[in-house]
Homo-oligomer: A and B are copies of this chain.
């Protein structure tokens, strides 16, 4: 028989996750030592490692949630909302995300676990949304929806790293202007991709 209810269980997990997020944001992944996690959560090593097997798993869960949340924003509200969401994100936390690039690229296991956390259908929903926008004349239709998604993703990642590095990135109007100019409907006289001059 479990000593605490499922409700209480998830509450504990959430408590640990919240503390870990603050800790990662404040000190970075490497800097978020177990001692600091203890201090931030008010729990002991044993309790923390009872809910999550390793420090890495803690990060993975937090990052996966972020990913899912932002992807959902994109799918549900469009890329302009996504730009705003990224600009509202805590730069310190974005920095933690950046620390894991190498792991994601080189560690196949880690990459696999990362992928398992992201719901697979959300990407399709994003592409779907882009197709609809193309049909509705909001986005140019001379490019694949996948390619448009990739280009939006490119700019978004740019925003992420600029904020993570503490640079001050362009304002969201500016970024969204860039996106409209580059990816908006091609109804004007100028053919897409034609080199000026």
Contact = CB atoms under 8 A, between A and B. Distances in A.
Interface of A: 28, 30-31, 91-92, 94-96, 98-99, 101-102, 104-106, 111, 136-139, 147, 150-151, 153-162, 164-167, 169-170, 174-175, 177-185, 187-190, 192-197
Contact of A156 (B104, B106, B158, B165): B158
Contact of A165 (B104, B137, B174, B194): B104
Contact of A102 (B99, B153, B180): B99
Contacts of A101: 94-95, 98-99, 161, 164-166
B105 A164 contact: yes
- Number of this chain's copies in the assembly equals 4
Given A28-B102, A99-B102, A157 B166 contact: no
A138 B196 contact: yes
A178 B195 contact: no
A161 B95 contact: no
Nearest to A30: B30
A128 B31 CA distance: 41
